[in-house]
Amino acid sequence: MTTIDAPSAKGSGSAATDRFKTERLSADTPPERAKMIYDDVLDALGGVIRKHEVTYAEYKVLKQWVIDVGEGGEWPLWLDVFVEHHVEDVNYSRHGFHGTKGSIEGPYYIPNAPKLPSVCTMPMRDKDLSADQLVFSGQVTDLDGTGIGGARIEMWSNDADGYYSQFAEGMDIPEWNLRGTIVTDDQGRYEITTLHPVPYRIPHDGPTGKFIESYGGHPWRPAHLHLIVSASGRNAITTQLYFRGGDYIDNDVASAVKPELMLEPRKGEDGRYHQEYGFVLDPAPED
Ligand code: MBD
Ligand code: FE
C-alpha cells in the first residue's frame, strides 16, 4: 500500500486555480493609480536586484520558476501564502474596524457550503471522528454586544490527514467534508462540533515547495480553523482561529497568526475539547 503524507501541490494547486478562474473579478483601478503602483513595484524590485547584485543565472532561475508556478497552477497557493497577509492587514486597518480581527482567506475556500443548524457537527468521516474533537460555541454580536440571529458562519478546515475537501484529487473525500455554513439561532448563538485541527503542511511537492526549500524554510502552518462570519448590514469578516502554544504559531509559513485569534480549549470529561469564542461584527463599510 502506498501512503501519501500530504496533499500533492499539482492536485490541490490546479484545483485552486480552476476555482479562482471562475470568479473573474475586476478592481476598477484608474490608470493613474495603476501607474503609481507599477512604478513602485518595479522600483522596489530594481532596488532588490541592485542591492543584492542578482546574477544572470539567478534571473534565469527566477524566470523558469515563474513559468513553473503558472504551469503547476500554484499562483493562488504561492500568493495567498506569501502576499495575502499584507493585503488583509492593510484593508482591515483602512476601515478602522473594531470587531473580530480578520486573517487571510487562503486558496481553499468554497462558497455556498451546505447550511447547518446552530447546534451541529461538521460533516466528517470515521477517520476524522477518531481524532480529537473540538466543541466550539459562542455568539455572533454587534459592536454593542447585541446578538445577531440568522448570522452565517462559514467554516472550513483540513481533515485528519491534512487535506481540504475539493482540493485533494484522487483522495476520495466527500465533497463537503469539514465544510459548512452554520446559521446562528435567534440570539446569535452556535455550538459547532468539529475535528480539532492539527498543524498542516501546505502542498510542497511543486514550485512553491521548491521556493521554500531554496531558502531552507519549512512549509508548515499552525493548526487553524478558517471562518467567514457574515450577517446582513454587517461587515463580513474572513478570519482564522489558532491554538495558543501550538507548533508553528510563531513561524507560520503564511504569516497569518494574530494574538487576538488564539483559542485555548480545555479537555472536558467527555474527552472532547471545549472552547467558547464570540464574533463581533462591525457595521458594513461604505466602500
Ligand atoms: C492553507 O490551508 C492555508 O490556510 C493557506 C493560507 C495556504 C495554503 C494552505
Ligand atoms: Fe488552511
> For residue 141, what are the contacts with CB-CB under 8 A and spacing of at least 6?
147, 148, 188, 278, 279, 280, 281
Identify residue 125 by its one-letter amino acid code: R
The total number of structural domains in the chain stands at: 1
Whether residue 286 is contained in a domain is answered as no
Give dist(CA 78, CA 202) in Å, integer. Answer: 10
The structure's pTM equals 0.93
Q: Specify the higher pLDDT residue, 161 or 64.
A: 64
Sheet containing 225-230: order of strands: 115-116, 179-183, 152-156, 225-230, 237-243, 262-263
Q: Whose CA is nearest to atom 9 of ligand 1?
A: 202
Whether residue 2 is contained in a domain is answered as no
* pLDDT tens-place string over residues 16-57: 888 888 877 889 999 999 999 999 999 999 999 999 999 999
pLDDT of residue 3: 42
pLDDT of residue 190: 98
Joined together, the cell numbers standing for residue 5 give: 503524507
Whether residue 215 is contained in a domain is answered as yes
Measure the N-to-C terminal CA separation of the chain; round to a whole number of Å: 54
For ligand 1, residues with CB inside 6 Å are 77, 80-81, 104, 106-108, 200, 202, 221, 254, 256
Whether residue 237 is contained in a domain is answered as yes
Helices 207-214 & 9-21 angle (0-180, nearest 10): 120
Whether residue 3 is contained in a domain is answered as no
CATH code (residue 274): 2.60.130.10
Q: Whose CA is nearest to atom 8 of ligand 1?
A: 202
Q: Which domain holds residue 125?
A: 9-280
Whether residue 171 is contained in a domain is answered as yes
CB atoms within 10 A of CB 47: 10
